[in-house]
Chain A
Amino acid sequence: MANKIIEVKNLNYRYMDNGPLCVNNINLEVEEGDFIGIIGQNGAGKSTLMKALTGLLRPSEGQIFINGEDIADIPVSVISNTLGYVLQNPDRQLFAETVREELAFGPTNQGVSEEEIEKRTDYILESVGILHLADEYPPALSKGDRAKVVIGSVMAMEPKIIILDEPTGGQDYIGRYQIMDIAKKFREKGHTVVVVTHAMSLVAEYCNRIVVLCNGEILMQGTSREVFSQPEKLQQTFIRPPQITELANAMKEELHIEETLLCVEEMGDKVLEHIEA
């Protein structure tokens, strides 16, 4: 069994004393190497939960263990060595004069040697697809490139876990897939990825597990297929499965589909099977 890299026990969070619970009795386990999708409508508590995992918000009640360690008294800057967090708006996360310096900002704070920083930045520039922008001024880049720089900057710190908070928001079709591919590649190197998103098709395609939040509570969790096979339950939080899943459900009888389909390829195979039959 894989190592539990994130463990959340009975987590409650309220922004104001005696205020309402924005995160309510969350119990969550994430295993090393997971690619988790966190979904839910606006105000469901996704970002609050993520900020609690990073230490930016301290739990009102409950405990959070990152890599087996209770993070209650650990400074955020120390947690960031294990858990990298990419916030929603890239503009607030760019501090350096050039993209290369931006990528080096985290490792420099970690005390990584100059040689190693050079190696890491070269690798990130290449793998994230921003090599041609290495000497550019980050705030002047396009939104898609700014997002890539910010993700790359956190990846350069080589955290065991990376949390991407709505990384594909405002991105075009290609940009969304490029960003998710970057995350996928990072996961293939053995890291754990947590993505908060509203893009159901991306979640279905990339994540091996999904956690659905509703009013600060976990409504359901499981594999993409398990979660998207329950559209009635998802409806409680106004989430609709990917369009291709809805199409497959609508044609279940005609095409004799028994399981939940998640992507175009799966649907294509079923259609072909039906035509051949």
Chain B
Amino acid sequence: MSILDYHYGDSYIHRMDPRVKMILLILLTIVVFMISNFYVLLAMFALVMLVWKTANLPLKNIIGYMKFLLSLVAFLIVLQGLFFSSGSNPIILVHPIIPESVPVIGGHGTVYLDGILFGLILGFRLLTLVCIMPIFVMTTTIGETALGLVKLGMNYKYAYMTTTALNLIPTLQDEARVVMDAQKMRGFQVFETGKFMEKMRAYSTLVVPLVVGAMRRAQLMGVAMEARAFGVKKTRTYRDELNMRKIDLAAGVLVAFICVGMVYFNGLLGGWY
């Protein structure tokens, strides 16, 4: 199961009104971008992990992505540490490794403390964002998402379009896997034994079958939906109705307060960058 599939469960987060979840998703994303103090960001990450725990979502699903992201964080830290350019007076940890006398690259190799810290903030922000999105997707069915969007005022056709696009991601992932299997079965070795760059290049070969498949499916889906009167009326009825409970409102307000608090502390402690 990927982090973009619905995870069956009966936790409070699963039962929460999708409208509240949607608003909190947007709010948390904005706040993560606003926070630039590492300790506050760490607190935000802890809050997100607490929600993961409350939702009983398997952490193993995200660990694979974490491993990749941690390597990206390390790369960002190194990159920013070596090539930090903003800030009026950055603290230098290591003076140029390459002597001035070396042509072209001489004088480079300065390691900036500010750059390392900036890389750390960027990386951690990315890590936190990647952990927020799956909470919504893994605890909210496509139907609930569509209904939530409609109840928030979106035209049901656009709501359906949005949720279909979300639904398509795991389908395309599956399809890409099948296409890769088919290529392996035709002796194409790159996906199994190729180097990183070779694999990256090989992914372009998946485009034709995936796009053709997606277009065929979209065409069929459109016809099937029209055949069942989709879009005939401006408004439509729903099998399930959403029920905004007091506890959902309270939870939403609580998380919103925490977010405001974090922004406040970020200002109080001072953003690193």
Contact = CB atoms under 8 A, between A and B. Distances in A.
A153 interface: yes
B175 A92 contact: yes
Given A77-B191, A139-B209, A157-B187, 8 more contacts: A75-B193, A76-B184, A77-B187, A77-B189, A77-B192, A95-B208, A139-B212, A154-B186
Interface centre among B175, B184, B193 (most CB of A within 10 A): B184
Contacts of A56: 181, 184-185
A38 interface: no
Contacts of B56: none
Contact of A87 (B181, B189, B193, B208): B181
Given A56-B181, A91-B216, A153 B186 contact: yes
A93 interface: yes
Interface in B165-198: 175, 178-179, 181-189, 191-193
A215 interface: no
Nearest to A109: B187
A37 to B, nearest CB: 21
Interface residues of A, number: 26
B263 to A, nearest CB: 42
B103 to A, nearest CB: 44
Given A87-B178, A89-B178, A95 B185 contact: no
A interface SS class: helix
B188 A109 contact: yes
Given A89-B178, A92-B178, A154 B185 contact: yes
Contacts of A84: 185
Given A76-B181, A87-B181, A94-B209, A105 B186 contact: yes
19 contacts: A54-B185, A75-B189, A75-B192, A77-B184, A77-B185, A80-B187, A87-B178, A87-B185, A91-B213, A93-B179, A94-B209, A94-B212, A95-B208, A107-B187, A109-B188, A109-B189, A154-B185, A154-B186, A157-B186
Contacts of A92: 175, 178-179, 182, 209, 213
Interface in A140-167: 153-154, 157
Interface in A68-121: 75-78, 80-81, 84-85, 87, 89, 91-95, 105-107, 109-110
Contacts of B191: 77
Given A87-B178, A95-B183, A77 B188 contact: yes
B187 A110 contact: yes
Nearest to B194: A77
Nearest to B181: A56
A238 to B, nearest CB: 27
Nearest to B183: A95
Nearest to B189: A77
A104 B189 CA distance: 15
Contacts of A110: 187
Interface size class of B (residues with CB under 8 A): 20 to 34
Given A91-B209, A95-B205, A95-B209, A78 B189 contact: yes
A76 B181 CA distance: 8
Interface in A45-66: 54, 56
Contacts of B185: 54, 56, 76-77, 80, 84-85, 87, 154
The winner among A56, A84, A110 for most chain B CB atoms within 10 A is: A56
Nearest to A76: B184
Nearest to B210: A92
A78 B193 CA distance: 10
Nearest to B190: A77
Interface string B104-129: 00000000000000000000000000
A178 B205 CA distance: 30
Contact of B182 (A87, A107, A109): A87
Nearest to A16: B1
A163 to B, nearest CB: 9
B178 A80 contact: no
Nearest to A85: B185
B83 to A, nearest CB: 40
A56 B192 CA distance: 11
A87 B180 CA distance: 12
Contacts of A75: 184, 189, 192-193
* Interface core residue of B181, B185, B189, B205 (most chain A CB under 10 Å): B185
Contact of A93 (B182, B187, B192, B205): B182
A216 B52 CA distance: 37
Contacts of B188: 77, 105, 109
Nearest 5 pairs of A and B residues by beta carbon: A109-B187, A106-B186, A76-B184, A77-B189, A93-B182
Nearest to A55: B184
Given A92-B213, A94-B209, A139-B208, A80 B184 contact: yes
A154 B192 CA distance: 19
A56 B189 CA distance: 13
